[in-house]
Amino acid sequence: MRNRKYLLDLNELQYKQVRLPWYKKLLKLFFWLAVTIVISIIYSIIFENIFGSPKEKLLTQQIDNLKLQYKFAAKELDDAFSIMNSLRMSDEVRYRPVFEMDSLPGSFRNPGFGGIDRLRYLNGYLNSDIMKSTRTRIEELKNMINVQDVSFKAIEERRIEWERMYEYLPMISPVDVTIKLGDGLKFREVHPVTGNPQWHYGQDFNAPYGTDVYATGAGKVIEAGWNSGGFGNCVRIDHGYGYQTIYGHLSSIKVTKGMNVKRGDLIGLTGSSGTSSGPHLHYQIDQYGQHKNPLYYFNDDLTEEEYFDMIRMLTSSTKFR
Amino acid sequence: MPNSRYKFNPESLSFDKIRLSIGAMLLRGLAYFVGSLLIAIVYYLIFAIFVDSPKEKALMREIEQLTLQYDLIHREMENIEKVIGQLQETDDNLYRTIFEAEPIPESLREGGVGGINRYKELEGYDNSSIVIETAKRLDRIRKKIYVQSKSFDDLISLAMKKEDMLRSIPAILPISNKDLTRTASGFGLRIHPIYKIIKFHAGMDFTAPSGTDIYATGDGTIASVISSRRGYGNHIVINHGFGYSSVYAHLDRFNVRAGQKVKRGDVIGFVGSTGTSVAPHLHYEIKLNGVNVDPVNYYFNDLSPEEYERMIEIASKTGQSFD
């Protein structure tokens, strides 16, 4: 009652209670709604101009966080690249020179990433650059890894081959280093037994009767017995790579034909069998039938003690299969 | 006037014109303002829930793509890290098998100290272990001091001599070795690559491809240029005077003749694998009055202190020489 409002009707000079018909009420409601909306819009425009929209703020913050994550990813990438570069360095500077392998061609290392822009779909974003550059760098890194993997595999294969080769090639003295050398690879005007001028295709060691003779490299015994060509009791080992070694004039043979030996294995004892004027070892190295100078295939830089240490090491170690 | 509103006053039984004081009007204005603000907030929230502004839409698209790409990158990086780990392992294995980086027992390195128990008289006291330790350390220091004082003597005599001595003494690396990656094996006890026994290595090895330039490390005269297929293979000896000479072994080719005078940095030959060598490398020796000295102490023109430290570390870690 108290809040009822009245209007003075000047025509009837009467106070009349303000009563609105329903449609006018509805109209008024609409009007009121419209006004509030307009006011709200004005408010929000002012608010957003001053403070920015909270949702936008939230989104921008999220983007900032993501950008930070990209930054971390970029750091990880930097690390990965520096590791890869050091691996590449080892590859090119350490391993390849050791194994006498050529460096990988530059074109193989850097195939280039031109051509079709596969990351085109990332265009048109605020942070297109970050996304594209990160993705591109990852592709580069993956390529670098693949190349390195291929390269390391090749080096590893070469290493195994290299180790095998140095196990097989004749590379030590067949007898104790203190034993005096006799005739080397040369033309002899007078053969000590036959008296005829003749080529001497090996190195003689003036070893006393019964001195141990060791295999100078790993290989397969292809001859063990009497040699009718004058070597007497003779052992011939095939080392592969075209190499064969011959140990002649032995008094006793400790291996049999077909046996696999490794460097340092005892193969026989010196003697004077065959065309020989006294106990000595005839040691000969042939590569593809060519006679090589055995002196080039071992060095006299060992003491007697070191020589026998080596023989013990070579035959006892499990390192050599 | 016609729009003036009235209010029925039941006490006076009359209609009073509704008049508002300024305060009340302000209050009412404030109420309208607050009301409209509240309504505006409600509208805004409803609007915000159902409708996104174009800018927000763009941002959301951005976030979606960034997240998508990041997940992709993250997964890739995880794989990459695993693969790189494997590659590093391969590298380690290669390094170990090529350079035999298994350390040589410390006891062999620190020759001299040890052996007979020289500290027997110090045993049996309360603090025996400390005393013995200290005595041992003192002994070691004394040895070092002796060595040090000898090198100081050298330094003093060196300082007293003339410039040409400084030019003559080997003082640079014999091959270009910018980041020291070519250092293979140092001076001292090393595993021989063929004999597989520990042998004294009288010089320093640098692995480098065949044909790499070799420099004279100090001024001097070429004492000998020797072609050989044994031992050092093709090698050069330079006489620097003042008791110094240097040896460059396993060369592929020579660039000098015997008797020729050379200056520091002159190319004297090229890396090879001649003589008893299992891989192309340079074997470099320095002799002082006929005795081999550790070349690592003769790179002072080339190396910064940090590089020197690293060089020592690399050279001492490698267990295998290449000849």
Residue A212 φ/ψ, nearest 5 degrees: -65, 135
* Interchain pair A43, B37: CB under 8 A: yes
Please write the tens of the pLDDT for every residue from B83-99.
888 888 888 888 887 77
- The domain limits of chain B are 6-50, 101-160, 170-317
CA atoms within 13 A on the CB side of B154: 16
The β-bridge partners of A232 are A227
Residue B121, min C-alpha distance to chain A (Å): 36
Please write the tens of the pLDDT for every residue from A100-117.
888 777 777 776 655 567
**What CATH code would you report for A186-316?**
2.70.70.10
Above pLDDT 90, what percent of chain A?
Answer: 36
Tell me the C-alpha distance between A238 and A253, whole Å: 16
Q: Which of A59, A92, A311, A319 to mutate to test the interface with B (most CBs of B within 10 A)?
A: A59
**Chain B residues closer than 8 Å to A99 by CB:** 279
Residue B314, min C-alpha distance to chain A (Å): 13
**Chain A residues closer than 8 Å to B181 by CB:** 89-90, 93-94
Q: Which of A1, A2, A6 to mutate to test the interface with B (most CBs of B within 10 A)?
A: A6
Tell me the C-alpha distance between B9 and B137, whole Å: 113
Q: Which of B5, B108, B194 to mutate to test the interface with A (most CBs of A within 10 A)?
A: B194
Contacts of residue B266, Cβ cutoff 8 Å, sequence gap at least 6: B215, B216, B256
The mean pLDDT of B71-85, rounded to a whole number, is: 89
Name the pTM for this structure. 0.71
Residue B5, min C-alpha distance to chain A (Å): 5
Q: Regarding predicted confidence, which is higher, A262 or B140?
A: A262
Tell me the C-alpha distance between A17 and A9, whole Å: 10
Whether the pLDDT of residue B128 is over 80: the answer is no
* Interchain pair B81, A94: CB under 8 A: no
Please write the tens of the pLDDT for every residue from B202-259.
999 998 888 999 999 999 999 999 998 888 999 999 999 989 999 999 999 999 999 9
pLDDT at B194: 82
- Closest alpha carbon within chain B to A136: B73
The β-bridge partners of A291 are A286
How many Cβ atoms are within 10 Å of B201's Cβ, its own excluded?
23
Whether the pLDDT of residue A293 is over 50: the answer is yes
Indicate the SS3 state at residue A136: helix
> Which of A136-150, A201-215, B56-70, B126-140 is predicted with the least confidence, judged by mean pLDDT?
B126-140
CA atoms within 13 A on the CB side of A3: 0
Cβ atoms A308, B197 nearer than 8 A: no
CB nearest to A40's CB, from B43, B98, B278:
B43
**Chain A residues closer than 8 Å to B191 by CB:** none
- Closest alpha carbon within chain B to A54: B48
Which helix (H) or strand (E) segment is A127 a member of? none
The β-bridge partners of B7 are A5, B16
Cβ atoms B278, B323 nearer than 8 A: yes
Residue A273, min C-alpha distance to chain B (Å): 30
- Closest alpha carbon within chain A to B185: A94
- The domain limits of chain A are 6-48, 54-168, 186-316
Above pLDDT 70, what percent of chain A?
Answer: 95
For the residues of A38-79, what is the DSSP string, one character each? HHHHHHHHHHHHHH--HHHHHHHHHHHHHHHHHHHHHHHHHH
Single-letter code of the amino acid located at A51: F
Q: Right CATH number for B170-317 from 2.70.70.10, 3.40.640.10, 3.40.50.720, 2.30.130.10? A: 2.70.70.10
* Interchain pair B74, A80: CB under 8 A: no
Please write the tens of the pLDDT for every residue from B6-30.
777 777 777 777 777 888 889 988 9
